[in-house]
Structure 1
Amino acid sequence: MSAPPTTFGRARLAVRTLRTDRWWLPPLVTFLALLAFVIYGVIRTFMNQWYWVPEYHYLAPFYSPCLSTACVPGSSHWGQPAPDLGPLVPPPIFVLPFVLGFRLTCYYYRKAYYRAFWASPPACAVAEPHRRYTGETRFPLIMQNVHRYFFYAALVVAAVLTYDTVIAFRGADGGFGVGLGTLLMVVNVVLLWAYTVSCHSCRHLVGGRIKHFSKHPVRYWLWTKVTSLNGRHMLLAWLSLVSVSVVDIYVMLVAAGAFPDPRLFN
């Protein structure tokens, strides 16, 4: 038998890729969508107004929980432990780092913005323009490993937004009431909880380090449910991002007096 042919590493191609489809479209759409959200988030954070509708107890997600003494009266459901530090440090600054930390270190979002913003790589079977690759072993990307800790902060934020939704079932006279804003907030918290618990960290938390699932039937049941949601983690990531934006914009417009909240009850 003859000796196997000698290999010389990867094939040397004169072109960046042999793909003939529109491989650049998904990263481009991701880039534009995430960029739009970032721009809106920055503007909304420093706008520092139109985030509370006292008549129906609507609190915009970007300002929840509102923990600063700069918060408008009635919007601080959990006290005001943070001081008023002026217009350069609006109330969302005290909470957004934890929310953004969870999103930025999310396994799906890593893939999304690595491809869309850093082209590392821009798509499958497409060469990246970088000469070196160190992965997530150096600063700042090594900080991605704190995702599991941001997960616990995300649980707290989701619980706070759930409370905001519960008190939004209040009418103008103090009784029970439901408006379009209430329904939008319900959809938002459902999507946020689905996105949060579908996280890989949650999957490991409920089912990790178990050698015999038969001895832990409750944790196994939870693991199967989280695993099912985990398969839709990308979809839930985008839907929850859109729902947060929609609710925030809606509350802003109602608070600014652009239009009244359509009421179904009271």
Structure 2
Amino acid sequence: MASTDHGVTSTTRAHIEARTLRQDRWWLQPLTTFVVFSSFVVYATVRAFMGRDYYASPYLSPFYSPCLGDCVEGASDFGQPFGWFPLSAALIILVFPLGFRMTCYYYRKSYYRAFWLSPPACGVAEPHQAYSGETRFPLVLQNVHRWFWYAAVLVGLVLTYDVLLAFRPMPAEYAVGDGETSGVHMGLGTLLMIANVAFIWLYTLSCHSCRHIVGGRLRHFSKHPVRYRLWTWVSRLNESHGRWAWYSLFSVALVDLYVLLLATGTIQDLRFF
């Protein structure tokens, strides 16, 4: 006979047959999370393995930045040290931002509830009879989140550099009209990349690990006024960490989709000057 000393079926808990006594649509939030997050995973996976249509000068898809593999001309601003890599260049870099998001404290709550039903909502019994937390494989790997945060900062710096490059004049083959354009380029793609990098930084800097890095392990804040100011600022950002997580997820996909449509000739960049 299976043990009943775990979770809501424990002998020390009240015996209630119903899965939950909640009368609201508690299932709506985990279902929405499941659909949206699954859609992003499918889209990102397809785009990562495509290995093409990720660059439309001067725009580079964030899925392929920095482009370190065998990339199309103009897409590699840091060289191609992994030019020998036989698969898509996106697979070289995506492991870092993906690892940062998958181990994120907010995303853990989201996919624990939406995918593993552990539990699906507050006051709703989970189907699992045992709970080991994040002390065993594979969930123990969540503890590397802080190291992925350092990698996410580097990725954020590279994406910021991409925004600066998005102001470059377009080459003749991409320009509307004859010859190479002059002056500063500003198009709809530039604005989308600016918004994306802003959300990326808000998400990265509002991270719980960032909050601990700037203000953790201190006995007296009064002796560290600079770190205290940083800690209070990050703490305010941290209150909306979940919001920045979703906004940055949507903005990354939107910029990639825009670059895809430009690269395939489906649309033309709306240029302001």
Structure 2 CA distance, aligned partners of 1:174 and 1:52? Answer: 20
Check the 8 A contact 2:49/2:91 in 1, yes or no. no
- In the alignment, what sits opposite 2:3? none
Structure 1 CA distance, aligned partners of 2:212 and 2:197? Answer: 23
TM-score relative to the length of structure 1: 0.93
Measured after TM superposition, the shift of residue 216 of structure 1 is 1.0
Measured after TM superposition, the shift of residue 174 of structure 1 is 4.8
Structure 1 residue runs of 4 or more that deviate by more than 3 Å after TM superposition: none
Q: Which runs of 5+ in 1 are unaligned?
A: 1-7
Measured after TM superposition, the shift of residue 211 of structure 1 is 1.3
Give CA deviations for 1:112-171 in whole Å, capped at 9, x if unaligned.
Answer: 000000000000010000111111000000000000000000000000000000010122
Amino acid at match of 1:25: L
Structure 2 CA distance, aligned partners of 1:148 and 1:46? Answer: 27
| Pair 1:85-2:73 in alignment | no
Structure 1 CA distance, aligned partners of 2:84 and 2:182? Answer: 30
Structure 2 CA distance, aligned partners of 1:253 and 1:18? Answer: 48
Give CA deviations for 1:220-244 in whole Å, capped at 9, x if unaligned.
Answer: 1110110000000000000000000
Amino acid at match of 1:85: F
Measured after TM superposition, the shift of residue 28 of structure 1 is 0.1
- In the alignment, what sits opposite 1:214? 222
Structure 1 CA distance, aligned partners of 2:16 and 2:42? Answer: 39
Look up the SS of the partner of 1:178 in the other structure. coil
- In the alignment, what sits opposite 2:55? 52
TM-score relative to the length of structure 2: 0.91
Q: 1:254 to 1:18 in 2, by over 3 A?
A: same
Amino acid at match of 1:60: S
- In the alignment, what sits opposite 1:38? 41
Q: Percent identity?
A: 59
Structure 1 CA distance, aligned partners of 2:264 and 2:157? Answer: 27
| Pair 1:205-2:213 in alignment | yes
Check the 8 A contact 2:166/2:190 in 1, yes or no. yes
Measured after TM superposition, the shift of residue 85 of structure 1 is 3.3
Structure 2 CA distance, aligned partners of 1:165 and 1:121? Answer: 40
Aligned length: 253
